[in-house]
Chain A
Amino acid sequence: MLSADKIIAALEKRGVTHLVGVPDNGSRALYEKLWSHDEIEVILTSREGEAYSLASGLFLGGAHPLVLIQNTGFFEAGDAFRGTAYNMGIPLVMLVGYRGYKTMEPDAPRVDSAATFFEPTLKAWNIPYTAMHGDGDIGQIDDAFAKAEETSLPTAVLIIPETV
């Protein structure tokens, strides 16, 4: 499990103003706790591709957005990611839920292709990433912001267990 409160504290530390995306089961607690947050506005999009373009507009307008989606939506968002956040050079941090992670364990009855395609796709698209397995990894969010700012490019942090 990942503490939503600790993740929110990491976002507050970095001055995040908007969280943009589409909820999934893994990010449910994070979204629910942020609905009523005073300083971070949640903006839901109809599809994940919109999250990248909307967040890019927010950044160019002077805000500090973060994208929160699931890996299935990440696949859908490919061209929007490439054409907006990547091409525009937006130092955007994205938290991406890792659906199917446990199905890659050796004794799993079936493998979720959302998991098997995920990291190869991140690598193919030159997206730096780390993965949060527990609360001890939440510091990766801060590191991702530093990396994004250093490169002026998007950086990902993967959410493996559900947030609570």
Chain B
Amino acid sequence: MLDKYTCLEKLAKKRTDEVVVTTMSVAMPWARHSDGPLDFAHVESAMGHAADFALGLAIAQPDRRVLCINGDGSTLMSLGVLVTLAQRPAANLTLVITENGTYEVTGSQPVPGADFINYEQLCRGAGLQRVYAIDNDEDFDAKLDQHFSAEGPVVFIWKIAKAQEPVPKPSKPIRERAHRLRETLTSSA
């Protein structure tokens, strides 16, 4: 089992100029590492729609890597997105699904199917070909660089330990964060 906080720390140390989209129980732990214009907490938004949002960014910014760190509960809310990612592949898109079977920010209730769902099979069945499930530190370290370099769409499923996070509260309103992201991406194009 992976520790989410350790994984995020390792990812943050390797990260350079990639866009990082985070959701729910990852948003604030990631913000403790980085909360700049290229960090977008998909919070105060629409749960289940971070991956499709990240796909839009990736298509519009083909020369820049976009990472989306999503949850399992968020993934379940819009499973069709997995097909959309395969239907319109973006070579610069990395999707992480953090899987621990719970809705962390609402009190760790179990997500539907927590005991039997297989996200790797779901992704492959949706047409995504590069899918890696990781459940130990050794494999995580071996795959870390690929989060930034593998041809997308690539999916990493982090099998993480259960944890509890409060409801995320980003440092700025979503509209301000969104337009700051756009200004950064378009001014450096």
Contacts and interface: CB of A to CB of B under 8 A. Distances in A.
Contact of B78 (A47, A59, A88): A47
Contacts of B53: 53-54, 56-57, 84
A54 B52 contact: yes
Interface residues of A, number: 31
A44 interface: yes
A87 B174 contact: yes
Contacts of B189: 62
A89 B59 contact: no
Contacts of A54: 52-53, 55-56, 84
B178 interface: yes
Contacts of A60: 56-57, 60, 178-179, 181-182, 185
A83 B46 contact: yes
Contact of A63 (B48, B59, B174): B59
Contacts of B174: 87-88
How large, as a class, is the contact surface on chain B? 20 to 34
Given A79-B46, A87-B174, A62 B52 contact: no
A74 to B, nearest CB: 14
A25 interface: no
B49 A80 contact: yes
A65 interface: yes
Contacts of B185: 60-62
A57 B44 contact: no
A44 to B, nearest CB: 6
A57 B80 contact: no
A89 B178 contact: yes
B88 interface: yes
A42 B55 CA distance: 14
Given A47-B80, A83-B44, A61 B60 contact: yes
A55 interface: yes
Interface string B9-33: 0000000000000000000000000
Contacts of B59: 18, 43, 57-58, 61, 63
A11 to B, nearest CB: 17
B78 A50 contact: yes
Which of B44, B45, B46, B185: most chain A Cβ within 10 A? B46
B109 interface: no
Contacts of A50: 49, 52, 78, 80-81, 84
Interface of B: 44-50, 52-61, 78, 80-81, 83-84, 87-88, 174-175, 178-179, 181-182, 185-186, 189
27 contacts: A18-B59, A43-B59, A43-B88, A44-B87, A44-B88, A45-B80, A46-B83, A46-B87, A50-B80, A50-B84, A52-B49, A53-B52, A53-B56, A54-B52, A54-B53, A56-B53, A56-B178, A57-B55, A58-B56, A61-B182, A62-B60, A79-B46, A83-B47, A83-B49, A84-B45, A84-B49, A88-B175
Interface of A: 18, 20, 43-47, 49-50, 52-63, 65, 79-80, 82-84, 87-90
Task: Give the 6 A-B CB pairs with smallest separation, nearest first.
Answer: A57-B56, A61-B60, A46-B80, A83-B46, A53-B49, A88-B178
